Structure 1
C-alpha cells in the first residue's frame, strides 16, 4: 500500500512539474514576441478584441482623490475661503418676470482625454472630452492656471472651463461649430437672491455611468436629444433629417444651490444641489445648500444628421452624457452680469444686453468687457 502511494505521489509531482514548465515556456514565448502578441491572442482564439473607446466608451479607472493643485492634502474637499455663512433660503415670491438670464457664448478649442476635476494631474486618464471656454484646460489645470489662460468665449472675462464627452460618428470626431450657448439663469423663484459663483467652484452634472432611465429622470434634463421634429430622446435617435440646418441638440441644467462650504467634494457633486419645490410652487434652495447661484444650462448643437446608428459619445451611449464646469470668471465681470441680468430680471445676450428692454443698457461694452470709468 505504501509503495502504491509513493508511485501515485510521484506521478502527480511529474504531471504538475510538466504543466508548470509548459506555462513558463508559453509566457516566455509571449514576452519574446513583444507587446503586440498578448493583445492579439484573444482575437486569434476567436474572442473579440477590446472595444475602441471611440465606439463604445473608454473604461476609466476608479477616480480617487489625489493630492494635487487646489487640493494639496488629497482628501477631495476644497474649502471655500472664506465660507459663506448665515444665509437662509428665500421662499419669498418676487415681482413676476419671465426672464432672468444671460448667455456665455463659448466655442470649442480642443479635445483631450483629460479631466482636471475627476482626474486632476493625471493626463490621459479620462475618456476624451471636448473643451470650451478656457483654452489652456488640461489635466493639470488649477484655479490659478485657468486665471492666467485665454478664452474662446465672447467675453474675455470668462476664463472658465466647460467640457463634455467628445461625440463621434463612427471614428470621426464631431465638434460643435461656432459659439455654443451656455445659459446662466436663476434656478430659484426669488431671482433677487442669486449671487455670483465663487472663484474656483467646480462640479460635474450627470454621470457617464447613468442609465437611460436615470438620464431621462435627471433633475437637470430639459427635453433630451432633439433633431428636426424629434424630441424627448434619451439616447441618440436612429435618424435625423438630412437638411443642411438640422443638427443634434441637447439641453441640460446644472444644480444651482451651494452649501457655502466647499468648492469641490470627493464626488464633485455633494456641495451642490437642485432647488426643491416649496410653498406656492416656488423653487427654493434646500437648507443644506442655502446659497443661490446661477443655474448653468448647456445648449449644445452637433453638426451631425442622417443615419445616427454610428453616433457615440467617448463615454459610451447617448445617456452617458454629462458635463463639467470649473469657474474662472473675472470676478467683476461676472458680478456685473449677474446683477444686471439675473437679479435685474432681463433676457440678456453675452454683453448683458436685453434687446427687448434696450433702455436698461448693457453690462458690458461692444468688446464684451466692463465699461471703462
Structure 2
C-alpha cells in the first residue's frame, strides 16, 4: 500500500468541519471560546484531554496516529430505498470485567496515564491491547465471538466505584435509512465517542445524545441528577450513540474520531445517508448502561469529571464470521434481534447463532 501523506488534501478543512459537528470542546477552545473547566477531573488523571496520540505501538510503529485499513474500502454503491422496517438491530450483551486507569486507544502502551475506566467484553483489555492481543483473549459477552473491548469512565459514589451489574445492553443498529447497505466493522477499527472535555451544552447537542442521564421519571439530563427515587427498581441510566459512517481508509486517526462520522440527512428527503467523505455504512453502536445507584446522588461522579463528560471507547475484535452473520441476519434483514440473532416477533426467520451463541 502506498505510504500515506501526513496531511491529506482538504484534511484541515474537513477535520475542522467534522470536529465542529461533533461538538468538541477542544475545538471551541482553539477558536477562542471559553475552555471547559478541568478542575473536576481527578488530579492524577487531569491530563486525559483527548489530545492526538503520539506514542508508538505495535499497530502504529511511527506513532503518527494513523492506522491504515488493509485493504481500504472503495467503490461504495449508492444508497437504495429498501422496504421500511422499524427495527434493524441486534444486541451485544457484555458484562463488566475490570477497572483500570488505562486507555489503549488514547494512550497506547502507557499504563496508568488515563482516568479510570470501566471495561466490558474482552477480559484482557489494558493499555497494551492490540487487535492481536484482543483476538487471543476471552470475553464476558454472551457471544464468544465478540472479543471486542468496550469501556467508559468509571462512575463512583463518595469515591467508591459503582459498576453495572450483569450483561449491559450494547445495541448494533442501522444508522442510515438504507439498512441493507450496512456492513460489518473491519477488524481492528477503534474510535472514541464523545470527549471528557466537552461542555454541558456540547454534550446535550452531540449527535450521539439520546436520552442523557435518567433515573425514575427524570430524563434528558446533561448532568447526573442530584437525587433519584430510593427504590430497588430504580437505577441511573444513560444511552449514547456512536458514529456509524467510516472513511474506508483508516482504522484509527490521531484524534480517534476523524475516520468516523454521523449520518446526514439527504437533501430534499428524510433519508439518513453517510456523507461523501465517510461513505461506508457500519453498525451504529449504542451504549445503554445501568448503574445500581439511587437516592442522594450528590456524591456521584465520573472519573472524567461531571456527568456531561461521559464518553466511551470501542475497539473491534469480533470474530469476522460471527459479526457478519449477525449483521446480515438482523440489520440487513430488518429484524429486532437478541444476542444470538433471534427476533421473537419473527420466529420464522430463525436465529443467526445457536443456543451457545456460536455459529451453527
Q: What TM-score do the two structures reach when normalised by structure 1?
A: 0.84
Does the Cα contact within 8 Å between 2:54 and 2:64 map onto a contact in 1? yes
Q: For residue 93 of structure 1, report the CA deviation from its aligned partner.
A: 2.1
Does the Cα contact within 8 Å between 1:135 and 1:152 map onto a contact in 2? yes
Task: Please say if 1:203 is aligned against 2:183.
Answer: no
Task: Please say if 1:151 is aligned against 2:151.
Answer: no
> Which of 316, 319, 324 is the matching residue for 2:313?
324
2:297 aligns with 308
Q: For residue 65 of structure 1, report the CA deviation from its aligned partner.
A: 1.9
Task: Please say if 1:58 is aligned against 2:45.
Answer: yes
Q: CA-to-partner distance for each residue in 1:303-328, whole Å, 9 max, x for gaps?
A: 00001110000000000000000000
1:127 aligns with 115
> Which of 336, 339, 343 is the matching residue for 1:350?
339
1:365 aligns with 354
2:19 aligns with none
The 1:94/1:51 distance shift into structure 2, 3 A limit, reads: closer
| Structural mapping, 1:281-296, within 5 Å | 281-296=270-285
Give the CA RMSD over aligned residues: 1.5
2:167 aligns with 179
Structure 1 moving runs of 4+ over 6 Å: none
Q: For residue 61 of structure 1, report the CA deviation from its aligned partner.
A: 5.4
1:299 aligns with 288
Does the Cα contact within 8 Å between 1:223 and 1:251 map onto a contact in 2? yes
Does the Cα contact within 8 Å between 2:48 and 2:115 map onto a contact in 1? no
State how far apart, in whole Å, the 1-side matches of 2:231 and 2:40 are.
30
Helix, strand or coil at the partner of 2:324: helix
Q: CA-to-partner distance for each residue in 1:189-222, whole Å, 9 max, x for gaps?
A: 0000000000000000000000000000000000
Does the Cα contact within 8 Å between 1:256 and 1:274 map onto a contact in 2? yes
Q: For residue 124 of structure 1, report the CA deviation from its aligned partner.
A: 0.1
The 1:89/1:124 distance shift into structure 2, 3 A limit, reads: farther
Q: For residue 58 of structure 1, report the CA deviation from its aligned partner.
A: 3.1
State how far apart, in whole Å, the 1-side matches of 2:199 and 2:39 are.
20
Does the Cα contact within 8 Å between 1:57 and 1:313 map onto a contact in 2? no
> Which of 218, 225, 233 is the matching residue for 1:237?
225
Does the Cα contact within 8 Å between 1:240 and 1:307 map onto a contact in 2? yes
1:168 aligns with 156
2:71 aligns with 82
Gaps (5+ residues) in structure 1? Answer: 1-49
Helix, strand or coil at the partner of 1:224: strand
Q: For residue 53 of structure 1, report the CA deviation from its aligned partner.
A: 5.6
1:28 aligns with none
Larger Rg belongs to: 1
Does the Cα contact within 8 Å between 1:69 and 1:140 map onto a contact in 2? no
Helix, strand or coil at the partner of 1:82: coil
2:31 aligns with none
State how far apart, in whole Å, the 2-side matches of 1:171 and 1:224 are.
22
Would you say how many aligned residue pairs link Structure 1 and Structure 2?
Answer: 320
Q: CA-to-partner distance for each residue in 1:167-203, whole Å, 9 max, x for gaps?
A: 0001110000000000000000000000000000000
> Which of 171, 180, 202 is the matching residue for 1:214?
202
Helix, strand or coil at the partner of 1:350: coil
2:126 aligns with 138
Does the Cα contact within 8 Å between 1:89 and 1:287 map onto a contact in 2? no
> Which of 304, 325, 335 is the matching residue for 1:336?
325
Helix, strand or coil at the partner of 2:106: coil
State how far apart, in whole Å, the 1-side matches of 2:275 and 2:188 are.
22
Q: For residue 66 of structure 1, report the CA deviation from its aligned partner.
A: 1.5
State how far apart, in whole Å, the 1-side matches of 2:56 and 2:212 are.
37
The structure with more helix, counted as a fraction of residues: 1
1:114 aligns with 102
> Which of 257, 268, 271 is the matching residue for 2:256?
268
State how far apart, in whole Å, the 2-side matches of 1:363 and 1:226 are.
33
Q: What TM-score do the two structures reach when normalised by structure 2?
A: 0.87
The 1:369/1:231 distance shift into structure 2, 3 A limit, reads: same
Gaps (5+ residues) in structure 2? Answer: 1-37
